[in-house]
């Protein structure tokens, strides 16, 4: 089974990163070397298209990291196309109803759980056509992540998270706060209430809550609160923070008078 999904099923937490900029052949290996267990290639807010995505997923094959994809929207047709390229997790943005979530699951799962189209002997099965056991194994391996990012979604939280096949319910914090009229106010009581509600619903339905904190302090805070699938920032944010920290340390040294 997908090792990230297996850990979540055991009640553990997992850490990885969302990639929006550094679509380079080595990024998967670099992240794995740093301790990441998964990578999410973002197709919604980046330049990543299907051709580039195919290349990026292929680079994960020997890197020891689980490739996942954030598709542009729930109407991305067919959703299973990224699975055929080898994605082992799919994040779907702007989920707002049980009907929409059920439709997404159906598109991503093979029969009898869904209606994913069958193409064997291509990238997802290592170019070796598998037998009958492949279908239930693939259904079990795939991690489905519902990105909940509107006030409407949180009004229907229980009915969405309870859909069979949902593995992770992910907090879309920027979009949610914008839709609530409190953009980027992440200490606002309304937002904190949503974070708490998400964890409680996920516990009830044995689904893992997911989140993208900006700092290590925030990550620790939300892991302690029950969030279990964590993107440690993004590739852009990590690079900026790392360079800024390095640069500030150099500047501080340079400003210190040298004793002669």
Find tokens 């699938």 and name the residue: 229
pLDDT greater at residue 257 or residue 136: 136
C-beta separation of 167 from 210 below 8 A: no
Using a 10 angstrom Cβ sphere, with 0-12 exposed, 13-18 middle and 19 or more buried, the burial of residue 133 is exposed
**Tokens linked to 210:** 């997911």
List phi, psi (to 5°) of 108: -100, -15
Question: Which pLDDT score, from 0 to 100, does residue 92 have?
Answer: 98
Question: Which pLDDT score, from 0 to 100, does residue 130 have?
Answer: 84
Cα(24)–Cα(39) distance, rounded to whole angstroms? Answer: 13
C-beta separation of 95 from 147 below 8 A: yes
Question: Which pLDDT score, from 0 to 100, does residue 165 have?
Answer: 98
Return the CATH fold of 3-245.
Answer: TIM Barrel (3.20.20)
Cα(114)–Cα(252) distance, rounded to whole angstroms? Answer: 58
Nearest to 39 by CA among 11, 67, 58, 12: 67
C-beta separation of 228 from 13 below 8 A: yes
Q: What is the pTM of this model?
A: 0.95
Position 126 confidence tier, pLDDT thresholds 50, 70, 90: very high
Position 257 confidence tier, pLDDT thresholds 50, 70, 90: low
Q: Is the pLDDT of residue 258 over 60?
A: no
Q: How many residues does the chain have?
A: 260
Q: Is the pLDDT of residue 155 over 70?
A: yes
Nearest to 26 by CA among 228, 229, 174, 235: 235
* H-type alpha helices, 162-234: 173-179, 189-205, 216-224
């Amino acid at each position: 089974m997908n090792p990230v999904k297996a850990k979540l099923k055991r009640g553990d937490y997992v850490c990885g990163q969302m990639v929006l900029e550094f679509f380079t052949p080595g990024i998967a290996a670099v992240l794995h070397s740093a301790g990441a267990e998964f990578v999410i290639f973002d197709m919604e807010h980046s330049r990543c298209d299907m051709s580039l995505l195919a290349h990026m997923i292929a680079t994960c094959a020997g890197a020891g990291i689980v490739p996942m994809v954030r598709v542009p929207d729930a109407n991305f047709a067919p959703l299973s196309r990224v699975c055929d390229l080898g994605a082992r997790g799919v994040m779907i943005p702007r989920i707002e109803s049980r009907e929409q979530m059920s439709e997404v699951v159906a598109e991503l799962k093979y029969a009898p759980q869904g209606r994913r189209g069958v193409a064997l002997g291509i990238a997802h099965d290592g170019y070796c056509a598998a037998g009958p056991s492949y279908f239930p194994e693939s259904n079990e391996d795939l991690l489905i992540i519902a990105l909940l990012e509107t006030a409407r979604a949180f009004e229907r939280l229980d009915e969405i998270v309870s859909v069979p096949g949902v593995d992770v319910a992910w907090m879309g914090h920027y979009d949610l706060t914008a839709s609530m009229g409190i953009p980027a106010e992440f200490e606002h009581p309304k937002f904190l209430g949503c974070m708490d509600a998400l964890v409680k619903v996920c516990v009830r339905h044995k689904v893992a809550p997911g989140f993208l904190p900006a700092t290590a302090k925030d990550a620790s805070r939300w892991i302690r609160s029950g969030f279990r699938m964590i993107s440690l920032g993004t590739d852009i944010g990590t690079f900026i923070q790392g360079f800024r920290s390095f640069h500030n340390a150099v500047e501080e040294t340079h400003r210190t008078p040298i004793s002669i």
